[in-house]
A and B are shown apart, each in its own frame.
Chain A
């Protein structure tokens, strides 16, 4: 598991107040939005703000949000690909 994924787990548990979840039992491939965690459109927007603030990556949730936030792994992938100055 890479650093970005581990970091995102901690941040998401914190900002969405997912009290029953710990970074250890947070599977990055599990369904994030609309899954068992009860994460909905408002949570997505809260994550959009976090991603922009902490990684400088802007996400238009109306257009691409659903795909990017399908799992934590896909979110990490999107951040990696779109980080300003990244080589990929």
Chain B
């Protein structure tokens, strides 16, 4: 039996106000909340119009993003007595507004930067709400909020969770304010989506959260009926001019919901107000809908709150079906005849059974949601149970160099830590493709190409799942430095486009023409695990292969400030691992699954981990090697957990603390995963690596366990097909 996914709670804070009632009232008023920026002072010129939240109490040393997120989360959880099983949050800015000020003040106390990371927002929510499950952070630029909700839908359908809090958040900051301005995408007269005179977007902020449950609440607000993801695989910032990716995502969402276009009562457009987006989206809508239903973009009222917008608009879609109310396309006076659409000019009361809500972003990342009246439509037939993930190719990069160089040193029991050589990384990359790319995207593309080559697959991968703890640090650093050095006058548009966490995965999609799901996760030291988790949720049975990548760059200035595991004097290290996967075990090198991911503070966490691995007896008969991930910042805690795990499981197998080989960087676990895959391929673990004899991976005891220890407990299992 398939499962219905209900919307049991909603939370929203945006330029329109705080809460559902204020939001609905503002939409009924049809006034724009876009005003000149006054959140931070500018060195030059008139402030540009932005969508700024006015209702956020200023009484905390937490970054604004965290406070916006908690505000929306508390609203969504207001009528629930138990914490959610998981939190899935779309986010692109993390604590960067705070970081920008710290960098300008040349603050070097790294404690002050502890809320910089994107993952820190979801982890903060988890802590405040008592959530013990995975805090999955999705960063796919302006579609992040919608993609987070799409992941939550699959997690609930799969039975991995019964209640998930999902949504998106972003705060205004200099990076996005000046970044979009440098792209000449900001309309100085506000934001006028679909208008013939539109000149761009208004950068905004906000947060929205949905409590999604498979158990039917007493009064469900609406039902999340379907979701569809796609990637343009066309350009890092501009949409495909014909809206091909947008069309595919809308088609996928309708198919997932089991609806025909004629059953959609209203489309909430992405409608940013940029000339290119609105035109591409209009073409896609007209291709899919012979006679489009009523439609509007609310971004003329709210501005574009980036990672929050998909979630904010999902809340608006829920209001639409709950209240039979359609918001107007605020700001549009003269609809552009070239678009061939008729946006709603006035707020309208109208029976609304199902809403399609569109979100598109940088990197060509598209996410569409279908939200409907609860139980109104028949449940689509459940999909077949999914087979496990099978690894067909792998590659890694470390301070030692490429896969062969890395494995050669490991076989001698020698460390591979250090920063990978950029010329070496770039050797297999087309020069014209990478001329604008700095360190992280080059690492990522190199891994992707090598992993695919290793698979021997002729067909290109269709989907990309990427994990990165800190994103493109070079681009972020260079953007902020040039912004400051030029007195805020000449920030680099290239660095802005490159600074988004999903830039490398977007480039990978362009390289392969990978037009399926394209998801970047950022989970600190568990980023690769999060990417693998997302891949396991979203990769369909019949789908062609996918790439699962984990990479981080070591940046001489930012890494020691941001990564708590890098102390002064720590050798700067970076690199990552990449895999070509499918759900076909035939011909695979090994199988991988991620049976456990939970907050380590949860009571009985180690016992739960052992249970998830089948109990002490099973795991003793299965695992020949344990690769333990203990980041330096949580050494004591991690060692304690490891001792407890070994005590309770009585595991008889060599234990390797893999960061002693890889060095300290967030996605070191991706390299550990490549170690495991390579040992399984060769059939043995080299003796010097485990300071003993060669270890044959034969008989029944032939699997490798990779544990993540510290703030969270995670397990990845690699085994023979």
Contacts and interface: CB of A to CB of B under 8 A. Distances in A.
Interface string A51-68: 011000000111000000
Nearest to A53: B490
A49 B179 CA distance: 12
A1 interface: no
Contacts of A46: 492-494
B46 to A, nearest CB: 15
Contact of B184 (A18, A43, A48): A48
A82 to B, nearest CB: 17
| Range for the number of chain A residues in contact with chain B | 10 to 19
Contacts of A53: 486, 489-490
Contact of A52 (B237, B435, B490): B490
A62 B490 contact: no
Which of A17, A18, A42, A52 is the most central at the interface, judged by chain B CB atoms within 10 Å of its CB? A42
A39 to B, nearest CB: 10
Nearest to B236: A42
A42 B493 contact: yes
Given A46-B492, A62-B199, A41 B237 contact: yes
A46 B275 CA distance: 20
Contacts of A61: 184
Interface residues of B, number: 22
A19 B437 CA distance: 13
11 contacts: A18-B435, A20-B431, A20-B432, A41-B237, A42-B436, A42-B493, A46-B493, A49-B182, A52-B490, A60-B184, A61-B184
B627 to A, nearest CB: 39
A42 B494 contact: yes
A12 interface: no
A62 B184 contact: yes
Interface of B: 182-184, 199-200, 235-238, 275, 431-432, 435-436, 486, 489-494, 497
B492 A41 contact: no
Given A17-B435, A19-B431, A49 B493 contact: yes
Nearest to A20: B431
Interface string A24-45: 0000000000000010111101
A10 interface: no
A16 interface: yes
A40 B493 contact: no
Given A19-B431, A45-B183, 17 more contacts: A16-B435, A17-B435, A17-B436, A18-B435, A42-B237, A42-B494, A42-B497, A45-B493, A45-B494, A49-B182, A49-B491, A49-B492, A52-B490, A53-B486, A53-B489, A62-B199, A62-B200
A38 B184 CA distance: 20
Nearest to B434: A17
A67 to B, nearest CB: 15
Contacts of A42: 183, 236-237, 436, 493-494, 497
B177 to A, nearest CB: 16
Q: Top 6 closest A-B pairs, CB basis?
A: A45-B493, A17-B435, A53-B490, A38-B432, A49-B490, A46-B494
A45 B435 contact: no
A18 B435 CA distance: 7
A30 B67 CA distance: 52
Contact of A62 (B235, B275, B436): B275
Nearest to A59: B184
A64 B585 CA distance: 55
Nearest to B275: A62
Nearest to A37: B432
Contacts of B492: 46, 49
A84 to B, nearest CB: 16
A81 to B, nearest CB: 21
Contacts of B432: 20, 38
B411 to A, nearest CB: 36
B435 A19 contact: yes
Contact of A41 (B199, B238, B431): B238
Contacts of B489: 53
Contacts of B236: 42
Contacts of B238: 40-41
A62 B490 CA distance: 18
Contacts of B275: 62
Contacts of B436: 16-17, 42-43
A45 to B, nearest CB: 4
A48 B486 CA distance: 15
B138 to A, nearest CB: 24
Contacts of B486: 53
Given A16-B435, A19-B431, A62-B199, A45 B490 contact: no
Contacts of B235: 40-41
B310 to A, nearest CB: 24
B184 to A, nearest CB: 5
Contacts of A49: 182, 490-493
Which of B235, B238, B432, B486 is the most central at the interface, judged by chain A CB atoms within 10 Å of its CB? B432
A49 to B, nearest CB: 5
Contacts of B493: 42, 45-46, 49
A16 to B, nearest CB: 7
A54 to B, nearest CB: 10
A44 to B, nearest CB: 9
Nearest to A38: B432
A45 B492 CA distance: 8
Contacts of B182: 45, 49
Contacts of A19: 431, 435
Nearest to A36: B432
Contacts of B184: 45, 48, 60-62
Contacts of B497: 42
A40 B433 CA distance: 12
Nearest to A48: B184
Contacts of A60: 184
A42 B494 CA distance: 6
A46 B520 CA distance: 26
A80 B204 CA distance: 38
B339 to A, nearest CB: 17
Nearest to A65: B184
Nearest to B491: A49
Which of B183, B184, B199 is the most central at the interface, judged by chain A CB atoms within 10 Å of its CB? B184
B484 to A, nearest CB: 15
A53 B492 CA distance: 11
Contacts of B494: 42-43, 45-46
A17 B494 CA distance: 11
A52 B20 CA distance: 45
A16 B494 CA distance: 9
